[in-house]
Structure 1
Amino acid sequence: MSTWEVHAIKYADRNSRTRRDSFIFDDNHDAPHPMDYFIWLLRRGNEVILVDTGYDQTEAQNRDRPIRMDPADALRPLGILPEQIDHVIVTHLHYDHAGGLHLFPNAKLHMQAADMAYATGPCMCHDTLRMPFTADHICEAVKRLYAGKVVFYEGDAEVADGVSVHCIGGHSRGLQAVRVRTQAGWLVLASDAAHYYENVFARKPFPIVVDLQNMLDGFATLERLASKPDLIIPGHDPLVAAVFPQGAAPHIRRLDQGPMSPIPR
């Protein structure tokens, strides 16, 4: 069975955060706690799958959350142009994961039906639940649906040989993690099922949550899906850049060979 390359591509970061922004019931809530923003590329020979799209300069200005580079430009060191992306796994429709859908016009989207229903349903009447979404991004997903370019899943499903999605929920109603067969074993791109290693390893939930039980249960699911805990890749942890080797450029990390050192617990 052939394996996939997995590349973590950092396009933004935010340092003006504290631990209260990352953990519920944390004792050290005023301590600084930076966040990195990633998209991920899977590649096997001529097969390419993008996991999430990040967000663009317009969204960065609207939310006052600057990006270091446009997500499409961030892919160029890997020899990938945005129009060459045929498949995007959308882990969920929050702005920082689906805010660049328009950058990849030829892509078919792979997502959980529950997340589309959540982002377009009555939960969006609540300001707090609507905050991580942007209407234009949801409209882009709906346009792609009407163009016949959305594949919906309900739970666990295989997207390609050696690539599967697994509905976790919790942070968003249809949040899905991505399991990938690599030379290091089964690797799990947690996306926001675990923003940080500490979320999953210490069982500390993230404050943006629609179903707390699903979030907590999801930590065990991530551990079950990965060949070993060090192959769980959180969605926003700066530790990823510290423990995985550099890839094709300084903002890219190669994940499929495993970490260079054990993940700090």
Structure 2
Amino acid sequence: MKIHHLDCGCMCPFGGALFDGFSAGLRAHLCCHCLLLETERDGLVLVDTGFGEQDVRDPSRLSRMFRLLNNIQFDPALTAVAQLRKLGLAPADVRHILLTHLDFDHAGGLADFPNATIHLMQDEHGAVQHLKGFLPRRRFVPAQWRGIDRWQLYREEGDEWFGFQSIRSVVDDVLLIPLRGHTAGHAGIAIRSESGWLLHAGDAYFFRHEIGQTTRQCTPGLRLYQRLMDTDHDRRRLNQHRLRTLSLEQPQLEIFCSHDARELARYSATDA
């Protein structure tokens, strides 16, 4: 299996280092860390899609609140479909998309891959069928998946993976790891590579120092954003604590989240 680490969206909220912990100017830099897997049996597989071509062409289909709050940069070169073409790969050859969850910055490219089956936790899919309330109506964008019927939904059942429940998908060596809290059916995606396991933790945490050390550290901006966006605060914090413990007990595991640009930089120079 060959693993490509892609940045499929740029968000630059005002606040600089108060958000990302490193920017010197007024604007922070948050990425949309997605994965492209080249597998022998299952063909091309995506983990999350970031923003899609339709989002770039028509930003108004996303909530004005989040466009302004996150200062989203709608760059067509950052779409997953554009990056596949740059690699010499055909979007039509993507057979599977595994989603951590359905927030607007994770599911925007679904329509760009017409032959892909979409793998998702059943509770996540169910939660967006009848959106109610101010925030859910803005964070989830049904237009991103309207007309798509190629869903493979999973219940919370399966074997253990390093102390976490795991759900085996139809894709070899790829597991869904339920990490509820940020959304109703949020999940991490665990991938077994030749060098060991990787865990794409999605939005289970946002800042690199929330794991890998005994005491959680997070910037004020991302701490507030996580609190704003969680659907089950206690469960999110519990799962984040479990990930921090896992990162300390199993330092050989590669764990990364969706939006920390410094984490993505560890992988961007060369493919894993």
Does TM, scored on the shorter chain, surpass 0.5?
A: yes
Where does structure 1 lack aligned partners over 5 or more consecutive residues?
248-253, 257-265
Identify the residue that residue 13 of structure 1 maps to in structure 2: 10
Aligned in 2, Cα 1:229/1:115: closer, same or farther, shift over 3 Å? farther
Identify the residue that residue 143 of structure 2 maps to in structure 1: 136
1:233 aligns with 2:230: no
How big is each residue's C-alpha offset from its partner over 1:78-97, in whole Å with a ceiling of 9 and x where there is no partner? 33211101111021111111
Identify the residue that residue 106 of structure 1 maps to in structure 2: 115
Whichever residue aligns with residue 262 of structure 2, its letter is L
How big is each residue's C-alpha offset from its partner over 1:91-138, in whole Å with a ceiling of 9 and x where there is no partner? 1111111111110011111100000111113xx211123221112124
Alpha-carbon distance, 1:42 to partner: 1.6
Identify the residue that residue 164 of structure 1 maps to in structure 2: 175
Task: Work out the percentage of aligned pairs sharing the same amino acid.
Answer: 21
Q: Is the contact between residue 33 and residue 257 of structure 2 (CA under 8 Å) also seen in structure 1?
A: no
Identify the residue that residue 152 of structure 1 maps to in structure 2: 153
Q: Is the contact between residue 203 and residue 219 of structure 1 (CA under 8 Å) also seen in structure 2?
A: no
Identify the residue that residue 175 of structure 1 maps to in structure 2: 186
Whichever residue aligns with residue 242 of structure 1, its letter is A
Alpha-carbon distance, 1:203 to partner: 6.2
Aligned residues: 233
Identify the residue that residue 49 of structure 2 maps to in structure 1: 53
TM-score, normalised via structure 1 length: 0.77
Q: Is the contact between residue 110 and residue 145 of structure 2 (CA under 8 Å) also seen in structure 1?
A: no
Where does structure 2 lack aligned partners over 5 or more consecutive residues?
157-165
RMSD of aligned Cα (Å): 2.8
Aligned in 2, Cα 1:12/1:225: closer, same or farther, shift over 3 Å? same
Q: Is the contact between residue 19 and residue 28 of structure 2 (CA under 8 Å) also seen in structure 1?
A: yes
TM-score, normalised via structure 2 length: 0.75
- Give, in whole Å, the separation in 1 of the partners of 2:125 and 2:18: 26
Q: Is the contact between residue 208 and residue 263 of structure 2 (CA under 8 Å) also seen in structure 1?
A: no
Q: Is the contact between residue 7 and residue 42 of structure 1 (CA under 8 Å) also seen in structure 2?
A: yes
- Give, in whole Å, the separation in 1 of the partners of 2:3 and 2:110: 20
- Give, in whole Å, the separation in 2 of the partners of 1:49 and 1:225: 26
Identify the residue that residue 219 of structure 1 maps to in structure 2: 240
- Give, in whole Å, the separation in 1 of the partners of 2:197 and 2:246: 7
Alpha-carbon distance, 1:31 to partner: 7.7
Whichever residue aligns with residue 209 of structure 1, its letter is D
Q: Is the contact between residue 98 and residue 137 of structure 1 (CA under 8 Å) also seen in structure 2?
A: yes
Q: Is the contact between residue 34 and residue 238 of structure 1 (CA under 8 Å) also seen in structure 2?
A: yes
SS at match of 1:125: coil
- Give, in whole Å, the separation in 2 of the partners of 1:82 and 1:164: 23
Aligned in 2, Cα 1:96/1:33: closer, same or farther, shift over 3 Å? same
Whichever residue aligns with residue 158 of structure 1, its letter is R
SS at match of 2:124: helix
Aligned in 2, Cα 1:53/1:243: closer, same or farther, shift over 3 Å? closer
SS at match of 2:89: coil
- Give, in whole Å, the separation in 1 of the partners of 2:253 and 2:15: 25
Alpha-carbon distance, 1:223 to partner: 4.8
